Structure 1
Amino acid sequence: MMKGRRHLLPPTFGVHPPLKTQTRFQTFIQPSFPGMPADGRGWGAAIFALFGLFVFSGSLIVLLTPVGAQSSPKVQALGLIIGLTSFVACIRLGALSRVSSLYWLTLVPILLTTASLAWSVSPGLTLRRIVGLGVATVFGIWLAERFRRDEAFQFIAGAAVLICLANVIIAAVVPSIGVHPNLTELGEPNPHAGAWRGLFFHKNDFGRMMALCATILWIGYSSQRKWRLVCGLGLFFSYLGVVGSTSGQAAILAVATPVTIYIFRRLRPLSAGARAKILILAVPATIICYIFSNIAFSIVLEMLGKDPTLTGRTEIWTGVLLALKGHYLLGGGFGAGWDLVGERLFILTGILVGHAHNGFLDLVTDLGLIGLLLMLLFYSSLIILSVRSYFYGYANEMALLGFGIGVFTFVGNWAASFMLLQNSLYWVIPVACVAALKCSAPQARSSIPSEQSAAEFWHLQECKRPYAVSSDLIMGDAQ
C-alpha cells in the first residue's frame, strides 16, 4: 500500500443520517407545480414542453387568427417550429431507431393519412393536415423520449393547470373574447349567448378541453400529495369552465371519465383471477348500462335545457351515411372528406353544417371504414397497453392517463370529432402515452430479481435511461 494514501471505505460504512420527513400539512403548504424542475436544472426543456402543450391545446388560435379567417399562418408557423425543434431533438436523442421498433403504432395513422393523398378530393388540404398531424406526433414522441414517465405526466398536468387558468380567467374577466355574444356575425340572435368559450371559438370546444384537463388533474391530484393544492386549484377552474360552457357533452365527460379511472384503479390490488372475473361480468353490465343510459342521457340533457336528439345531430348522422354512398371504404381523404359529403348532405336533408358532429362518422368521411377500423385498433391497443402497464406495476400516472384518454376518446367522439385531430393535444397525449409505456414494456419475469419488487425494478431500469437526465438543453444528452 502506498504511503499517505487513505483507504477507501465502502459507501454503506457508518451510520446513515436520519431521513427528513414531512407531515401532510407541511407537504400541503409547500406545494409543487407539476413540471417545474426542483433542482433548478432543465428549465429550457421544461418551458418548451409546457409551451408546446399549451399551444396544442388550441388556446392561442383565437388570439392569433385574423378576424373572419378560417386559419392562421401564425398558428401554423408556431406548430412547424415546435415540430421541427422536436424532430431535431429526437434525432439527437437517438429516438429514430426506437420509433421504428417500439413506437411504430404511432406511425400507422401517419402512413394511412399519407396514403389518402392518392384518393383525396382536395390533395392540398390533405397535405396540410398530414403535416399538422406529423408535428403533433413528433412532439408527443419527444415528450416521452426527453423525460421519464413520471416527469412527462408532470408536464401534462402542469399544462392542464395553465390551460384551465388562462381560459376561465379570460371568460370571466374579458367577456368580449371569452363569452359568446348576443348576436352572431350576421346580426342574428346567437343561440349560445352568454355561454363561456374561453380562448376557443365555440363553447363545446372549450368545455371539452376543460373536461380533458379535469381528467388529467384528477390523476395528478390522487397520485402525488405534493401536487394536491395546485391540481385541486386546476380542478376547481376546470369544473367552473365546464359549468360555464353549458355543454352537456363536457359535463358527461368530466364526470364519466374520472369515475371510470377511479374504478380501474380499485382493481389493481386484486389478483389476476379476480380482475378477470370482474372484467367478464363487466361485459353484460356494460350492455345493460348502455341500454338504460339512453334514457338517463335524455333526462340529463332535458335538465340542462338541451335537445335529447343532440341538437339534431342524429338527423345529421343519418344524412352523412346516405351522402357517403360509394365511398364507404376509403372516404374522401384526410381532412377533405367533408368536401365530398357536405354538398350531398345539403341536397338530401337541407342541413348545412361543417362536420358530422360525430368523430366516428367524420373519420369515415375522411379515411373510410379502413381508417375507422385502424383508429379503433389504435385506441384499443392503447387501453390494453395501459392496463398491462398499470397492473404489472411499472407505470402509474402515464398508464392511468393512457387508459383515461382512451375512454375519453371513445365516449367523447359520439358527439364531437377529435379521434385523429392534427395540431391537437387530443393526439399529442395518446402518442406520448404509447411512447412512454412502450419504451419500458415488461420484460420476461425471469429478468426481475426476486429480492426486488416489480415497481422497484422498473423504476431502476427507467432511471438508467441516459436521455432522461435533466439538462438545460431542449435536446437532452445525445446518446
Structure 2
Amino acid sequence: MDGQTRSKWIDYFFIYWLLISTGGFVFLLTGANPMDPPGNDPASYLGRANTILISLATFWIYLTNSRAVNAVIRASWLPFLFPLLAFLSCIWSDNPAITFRRAYALSFSFLAAACLIALVPPPRVARAMSLALGWAILLSVLFVFVDPAYGVHQASDWVEPHWAGHWRGIYSHKNPLGNTASIALLVYVVFAKRVLRSAIFRASVLLAIAACLFGSGSVTGLVVGMAMIAVAKGFSLILEARQEARVLILGSASSIVALVLITAVPVLTVGLEMLGKKPDLTGRVPIWGTILPWANEHPWLGTGYGSFEETLLPRFFAITGENLVNAHNGYLETFINFGYVGVLLLVVVLISFASKVVKILRSQAPYEKLVLPLAISLFTGIVLSNITESFFLAYASIHGTCFVIAYIMVSVSLAQAEAAERSSLQKRSTGARRLKMMTRVTGLPRAS
C-alpha cells in the first residue's frame, strides 16, 4: 500500500470513527427495539464487535505512528488523566466490569483523537468532521421518513413515550440528534465551505440540519449552535487584529459576554416560557436537586466511571418512575463519577485550555488559523452544552469526542508556536555570535 492510498484509508477510518462517535445507529448495532425494555440480547454483540474493531484499528494506527502520537499526547497530557482515573475507579465501583468496559471505550476514544491530530493536517480534520456530521444528519432525515418506528419517537416506546412525534434519526433519543445538529450547524456555516467542494452537498446538509433541529424540538441545540458560530466568527476577527491587541480584545469580549449572561437570566426565563419551555430547563433542575444529595454520599472519589445507571438510576426510578441514562449535567456527572478529584481535574483542564489560547495569541510564531476558531468554538459549545447534558467524558457522543479534540488541537498549536519561537531565537543568537566573531577578526565596527 503506497503512502497516498494509506493516507486515504486513514481518512476514511477517522470519518467512520467520528460518525460512530456521534452515538448513532444504537438500535441497529444493539439489535434493540425501542418499544421493548433493554436486555441482554445476543444481537448487542454487534455493537461490541464494532467497538473492538475500531479499537484494533486505532491501536494499529498508534503502533505504526507511535512517535508522532506520543508527541501529541505529551503536549496535551492533562485530559488523558481522565481515562486513567476511569480505570482506577474500577477499584471502588459497584460494578467493576461495566466500569472497565466504559473506561476501555473512553481510553480508545482519547487515543483515536490523539492519532487524528497527530496524522491529519487541520484542513483534513475539518473535512473529516464535516463529512461525518453531514452524513449523520442526512441519514437521520432518511431514517425519519424510511423507518419512522426507529427514526421518530413513538407513543409505544418503552422509555419516555411523551416525546412521541419528535425526531431522533439514527439516535436513540431526540436530544443526541439535536446536540449533533448543533455542532453540524457550526461546521457547515463556518468551516465546511473551506474543505468541501460540493455546494449541493453542503446545501443539502444545511437544510437537513434545520429539519433535524426543528423535528427534534431542540431549542438548546439551536442556541448552542448559534453561540458557537458567534464565537468562531468573533475569534476569526480577533486573529486579524494586531498581535499585541489580541489578548486585550479577547479579555474585553469575554467580560462583556459574562456580563450579558449574568443579566440575561430574567430575559432567558421569559424567552423559555414564550417558546413553551419551562424555566426549570425541561425538568432538569428538579433532576439535579434529586441526584445531588445521593452523589454527596461519595464526595471524594465518586461512584466510579459510567456508574450512574447502576448506582443512582434505580433510586431515581423508584421515586419518579422515570428512566435516565445520565444526570443531564456534565459537571454533576463528573462529580458522580469521580467526586471532588474529578471536578478539580475538570476545572484545571478548562483553565489550562484558556491559558493555552492566551499564550498562542501572545506568540509571534505563525500557526494554522483554521485551528483556533474551530477548537475554541467547539470547546465553548461543549462547556455550554454540559449545563443540560452529560458530554465531557461521554465516549458515545460527538461532544465528548470534540472536547478532547479541541484541547489537543490547541495544545499542539501552542507546542508548535513555542518550538518555532525557540528556533527563531536560536537563529538570531547564532547570527549574533557569528557577527561578533567577524567583528573581532576583521576589526570592523558593529552597526549601532
- What per-residue deviation string (whole Å, max 9, x for no partner) do you get for residues 201-260 of structure 1? 111111111111112223314645846554343233212211111022112112121112
- Out of 51, 72, 75, the residue aligned to residue 47 of structure 2 is 75
Q: Could you tell me which residue of structure 1 aligns to residue 16 of structure 2?
A: 51
Q: How does 1:394-413 map to 2 (within 5 A)?
A: 394-413=367-386
The unaligned stretches of length 5 or more in structure 2 are 428-448
Query: 221-230 vs 375-384, which deviates more?
Result: 221-230
Per the TM alignment, residue 78 of structure 1 is displaced from its structure 2 partner at its CA by 0.8
In the alignment, does 2:248 pair up with 1:265?
no
In the alignment, does 2:136 pair up with 1:125?
no
Q: Could you tell me which residue of structure 2 aligns to residue 153 of structure 1?
A: 126
Per the TM alignment, residue 48 of structure 1 is displaced from its structure 2 partner at its CA by 1.6
8 Å CA contact 1:409, 1:418 repeated in 2: yes
In the superposition, the TM-score normalised over structure 2's length comes to 0.82
8 Å CA contact 2:21, 2:395 repeated in 1: no
CA distance in 2, matches of 1:341, 1:283: 37
Per the TM alignment, residue 445 of structure 1 is displaced from its structure 2 partner at its CA by 2.6
In the alignment, does 2:107 pair up with 1:134?
yes
In the alignment, does 2:208 pair up with 1:241?
no
8 Å CA contact 2:329, 2:387 repeated in 1: yes
Work out the percentage of aligned pairs sharing the same amino acid: 24
Q: Residue type matched to 2:109 in 1?
A: A
Query: 408-417 vs 107-116, which deviates more?
Result: 107-116
Q: Could you tell me which residue of structure 2 aligns to residue 459 of structure 1?
A: none
Q: Residue type matched to 2:47 in 1?
A: V
Structure 2 CA distance for partners of 1:240 and 1:388, relative to 1, 3 Å: farther
In the alignment, does 2:321 pair up with 1:321?
no
> Secondary structure, in 3 states, of the residue corresponding to 1:191?
helix
Q: How does 1:79-98 map to 2 (within 5 A)?
A: 79-95=51-67, 97-98=70-71
Q: Could you tell me which residue of structure 2 aligns to residue 26 of structure 1?
A: none
Q: Could you tell me which residue of structure 2 aligns to residue 463 of structure 1?
A: none
Q: Residue type matched to 2:190 in 1?
A: I
Structure 2 CA distance for partners of 1:297 and 1:183, relative to 1, 3 Å: farther
- What per-residue deviation string (whole Å, max 9, x for no partner) do you get for residues 243-291 of structure 1? 1110221121121211122122221122344333334434542343123
Per the TM alignment, residue 334 of structure 1 is displaced from its structure 2 partner at its CA by 0.5
CA distance in 2, matches of 1:42, 1:280: 40
CA distance in 1, matches of 2:260, 2:86: 35
CA distance in 2, matches of 1:79, 1:346: 29
8 Å CA contact 1:168, 1:198 repeated in 2: yes
In the alignment, does 2:410 pair up with 1:445?
no
Q: Residue type matched to 2:107 in 1?
A: G
> Secondary structure, in 3 states, of the residue corresponding to 1:268?
helix
- What per-residue deviation string (whole Å, max 9, x for no partner) do you get for residues 290-311 of structure 1? 2333223223322332222122
8 Å CA contact 1:337, 1:365 repeated in 2: yes
Structure 2 CA distance for partners of 1:273 and 1:43, relative to 1, 3 Å: closer
Q: How does 1:156-175 map to 2 (within 5 A)?
A: 156-175=129-148
CA distance in 2, matches of 1:103, 1:244: 38
Per the TM alignment, residue 444 of structure 1 is displaced from its structure 2 partner at its CA by 5.0
8 Å CA contact 1:79, 1:423 repeated in 2: no
In the alignment, does 2:156 pair up with 1:191?
no
CA distance in 2, matches of 1:228, 1:293: 38
Structure 2 CA distance for partners of 1:52 and 1:344, relative to 1, 3 Å: closer
Structure 2 CA distance for partners of 1:179 and 1:370, relative to 1, 3 Å: same
Query: 440-449 vs 321-330, which deviates more?
Result: 440-449
Q: Residue type matched to 2:92 in 1?
A: W
CA distance in 1, matches of 2:8, 2:19: 16
Q: Residue type matched to 2:261 in 1?
A: Y
Q: Could you tell me which residue of structure 1 aligns to residue 397 of structure 2?
A: 424
- What per-residue deviation string (whole Å, max 9, x for no partner) do you get for residues 152-196 of structure 1? 22211221211111112222343222111233338xx93212111
Structure 2 CA distance for partners of 1:179 and 1:350, relative to 1, 3 Å: closer
- Out of 310, 313, 327, the residue aligned to residue 281 of structure 2 is 310
CA distance in 2, matches of 1:277, 1:432: 26
8 Å CA contact 1:57, 1:209 repeated in 2: yes
CA distance in 2, matches of 1:196, 1:350: 25
Structure 2 CA distance for partners of 1:163 and 1:275, relative to 1, 3 Å: same
CA distance in 2, matches of 1:256, 1:340: 35
In the superposition, the TM-score normalised over structure 1's length comes to 0.77
Q: Could you tell me which residue of structure 2 aligns to residue 3 of structure 1?
A: none
Structure 2 CA distance for partners of 1:122 and 1:41, relative to 1, 3 Å: closer
CA distance in 2, matches of 1:350, 1:61: 26
The unaligned stretches of length 5 or more in structure 1 are 1-38, 452-479
Per the TM alignment, residue 432 of structure 1 is displaced from its structure 2 partner at its CA by 3.3
**Normalized per residue, which structure has more helix?**
2
Higher relative contact order (CA 8 A, sep 6+): 1
RMSD (Å), alpha carbons: 2.9
8 Å CA contact 2:246, 2:362 repeated in 1: no
